[in-house]
Amino acid sequence: MARQSSIIKLKGTIGDITFYKSKDGYLARQKGGVDRDRIMNDPKFQRTRENAQEFGRAGKASKALCTAIRPVLNKTQDSRMISRLVKRMMAVIKADAVSDRGKRNVLDGELILLQSFDFNGNAALSATVYAPFTVTIDRPTGVLDVNLAAFTPESQIVAPGGTTHFRMISAGVEVDFENETFKLAQSSSSEIAYGNTLSAAIPLSNDIGVTDSTKPLFLVFGIEFLQQVNGSFYSLNNGAFNALNLVAVDTGV
């Protein structure tokens, strides 16, 4: 691919050159490639077909997870989150040590590799929240908890300019990757003033209503920055600085 440097930016196709706009600017690339029918049937492209099948599973699993946590994900993701998550999901699939190539999947892979994934690559939880917290997934009861000890916001939370308040958010979810269904429970703290006053401990408990689940369980935890104006709270900069992390994974294995 090549970057367009002309004053006039093009979009479309001229001859065998395609001009388009991406997040990296205006680019151009040459049309061409191997015929699709050959890729689908030629033995020489068996590895390509296997890779495509597994990439498709990674995309499907990533979509299922994002759909499951959508209520807390809406304001805490960057523009490249999906591609980063699919890449991590591919690592999960490649860790499948029992299935043949092309048939490897997330359930036989290592879902634990998703743990610590930041949904906003521009605001890692580890560089935003320094307040101590613990996480617990209780599979028999279906309760997934995050518990923060008492902390001082100004010294233990890295907040963007304009922040007057913030809230802690959490969600616990059971994901059925095969049927693309889920059970979700979410919780959040009240609005907490950003300052030097010691904040009380914060319990965030998520009861998904499923006991002794046999499916993967995920616990996410994050922070939403707010600005108070005339008694109302508004999300700061459309959530650009909000952090959300997959803090715990329980595969049930």
Locate tokens 């935003």: which residue? 128
Q: Is the pLDDT of residue 79 over 90?
A: no
Residues 6+ apart with CB under 8 A from 221: 125, 133, 135, 146, 168, 169, 170, 204, 244, 245, 247
- Model pLDDT, residue 28: 66
- Model pLDDT, residue 9: 54
Helix boundaries (H) for the chain: 36-41, 46-68, 70-73, 81-94, 153-156
Averaged pLDDT, 95-103: 92
Averaged confidence pLDDT in the chain: 88
- Model pLDDT, residue 4: 47
Share of the chain above pLDDT 70, in %: 85
Share of the chain above pLDDT 90, in %: 71
Q: Would the pTM of this model clear 0.75, i.e. be above it? A: yes
d(CA 35, CA 28) in angstroms, rounded, equals 21
Q: Which of the four pLDDT bands, split at 50, 70 and 90, describes residue 75?
A: confident
Distances (CA, A) of 175 to 184, 189, 241, 247: 9, 24, 27, 16
- Model pLDDT, residue 128: 97
**Per-domain boundaries in the chain:** 1-32, 44-250
Query: pLDDT tens-digit profile of 200-210?
Result: 999 999 999 99
Q: Is the pLDDT of residue 137 over 50?
A: yes
